[in-house]
Amino acid sequence: MVLGVALAAVVVIAGTLGVPRQPETPAPPIVPFSEFLVAADRAQLKSVAIDGSMLELTRTTGETVRVSAPSNYLSYNSGILTDLAKAGVRVDVRAASTAPDALEYVWLTISVVFVAAFGYSIFRMTVGKVPNFQPGVEATGGNAQRVLFSDVAGADEAKEEVKEVVDFLREPQRFGAIGGRIPKGILLIGPPGTGKTLLAKSIAGEANVPFLFASGSDFVEMYAGVGAARIRRLFKQARKHSACIIFIDEIDAVGRSRGGQSFTHEEREQTLNQLLVEMDGFAPNQGIVVVAATNRPDILDAALLRPGRFDRQVTVGAPDVNGREEILRIHARKVTLGSGVDLRRTARGTPGFCGADLANLINEAALLAARESRREVTADDMDAARDKVLMGVERRSLKMTAHDRETCAYHEAGHAVVAALIPGADPLHKVTIIPRGRALGLTMQLPEGDRHMYTRDYLEAQIAILMGGRAAEELFLDQMTSGASNDIERATEIARAMVCNYGMSSMGPLAYRPGSAAHATGGAGMSEALAQRVDEEIQKCVMRGYDAARHIVETRRAAIKALAEERLVSESIDGDRIRTIVEAHAA
């Protein structure tokens, strides 16, 4: 349709510009008005053509000239025309005309294009004709593209939830014999990168049925009726199969809650209404399972989440240490690992990583090995890739002055010694003064296991560790630098969470939320006096951590000095060497 309109516009433009025009002849010369008066008085005129205020004179000699008459001259002196006629001079009156110029053709062309575009838009909005939309179709019958449950790791509970759908698609008669019906929809909920799309593909792979996939943004258009038409087309194509799976990624783009006073989302609401009808309406959907993924379930419409549409909601969260190890083994199939690589150790050192992060880690390790022309990935490559993902890329090109290196060394030594000695802290992994990312130095800790909740002692230890760098700067260098700004910000955030969210202060077990949003979030609103008390409690939490860090730094001066001096030489020190230095310089 768009091509047809474009061709029509081209034809009109070409026709307009291609209209044959009469060859232009030179215009007669313009002479003074006095010559007209003299020629009329001497009977030297053969004809006079009046064109507005312009007179075209033909002399008896055959010469043609033009004369510009004064304004309203012929109106006030109409007798002269009578005298000319009596003298046998032919008098003609012409309509004023102007020759078309190139600008007129340009404006005509623009007008034609505008009218064509406007008409096409009206046609789209009124008739409902939409551009071709074909959802992605993946036939899972071939083993080359087939994804199975064995290819999905770290989501055992989620696989158990969706396994019933696979069994029903394989043997529908077994469930139908007892009156059971297949779930019409499964909503996969989880953070980005946890494998929701891969899990949906594995459902189709295990059931060996066609897999139709689309994105929520595919149904969002500015033209009325486009999204609803695409939803109908998607389900129409799905009904051609005896059984299939429809996967809609990022369904929150089209499934947001309806309501509000604005009419700007009317088209999106029509699309959502069509999706609701297709999932549980009058049209039969036997054998069609809709699988959707989102990381924003809180904004989805309630009608979309009710039983009969998305009957089952499956949470796909970040994997634990066992799940991370399984994911690493799956991705490690594509690379050659050295004998010294311990995937269990790597999994333990990557808490909070999702499947996409772990795949990126394996890829980074392979790239590091290939960069150094090695044929297998070593344990050092895995550690370097993990540090790169966690701490950023090393910026060895950044030249630091001797004073900045010394300041950074003592700052990081303060963090490290406090982390090594304060109870309840995570074990140290590495301390470096090599700039990484936006930081000039880093102290990295690796937890021994996954943490799902935090104790008050652990949070206070984290604040003390963050304050260790500032305390070392003050005691050893007698100065304060801006390098502790991020530490102070993070410590304040932890203290604020302890007071306002976790109830770990003398303010009591209440959730405090500033402003009018407090009631919407279930927290208590704060007056000015109460806000002042909250600020005082936050200050007390941070200062307790600062005092604890300062006490450790004062009593372990020798350990901090030895650690800073060694770091100026080696730049990076691992956790075992740090513990050795701290034990050798015990108070």
**Residues classed as catalytic:** 412
By 3-state DSSP, what share of the chain in percent is helix, strand and coil, each rounded to 5?
50, 15, 35
Report CA torsion sign: 489, 491, 494, 500.
negative
Three-state helix/strand/coil letters over 188-240 = EECCCCCCHHHHHHHHHHHHCCCEEEEEHHHHCCCCCCHHHHHHHHHHHHHCC
- Specify the residue for token string 């779930």: 183
Q: Which residues contact 263 (CB under 8 A, 6 or more apart)?
A: none
Amino acid letter at 29?
P
CA angle, 415 then 420 then 423, to 5°: 110
- Specify the residue for token string 């609701």: 276
- Specify the residue for token string 């394989």: 170
> In this structure, are residues 537 and 499 in contact, taking their beta carbons and an 8 Å threshold?
yes
CA distances 442 to 296, 399, 574, Å, are 33, 17, 12
Amino acid letter at 205?
G
**Rounded CA separation 375/370 (Å):** 7
**Rounded CA separation 292/312 (Å):** 11
**Rounded CA separation 294/314 (Å):** 11
- Specify the residue for token string 């690493």: 328
The DSSP symbol for 128 reads -
**Rounded CA separation 537/504 (Å):** 10
Coil, strand, or helix at residue 574?
strand
Q: Which residues contact 302 (CB under 8 A, 6 or more apart)?
A: 257
Q: Which residues contact 311 (CB under 8 A, 6 or more apart)?
A: 183, 184, 185, 186
Interstrand relation of 288-294 and 312-315 (parallel, antiparallel or unpaired)? unpaired
**Rounded CA separation 546/412 (Å):** 15
Amino acid letter at 27?
A
**Within 13 A of 528's CA, how many CA atoms are on the CB side?**
0
Element at 111 (helix H, strand E) = helix 102-127
**Any idea how long the chain is?**
587
- Specify the residue for token string 């025309």: 81
> In this structure, are residues 382 and 399 in contact, taking their beta carbons and an 8 Å threshold?
no
Q: Which residues contact 271 (CB under 8 A, 6 or more apart)?
A: 219, 220, 227, 228, 230, 231, 254
Beta strands in 72-184 (DSSP E): 90-94, 136-138
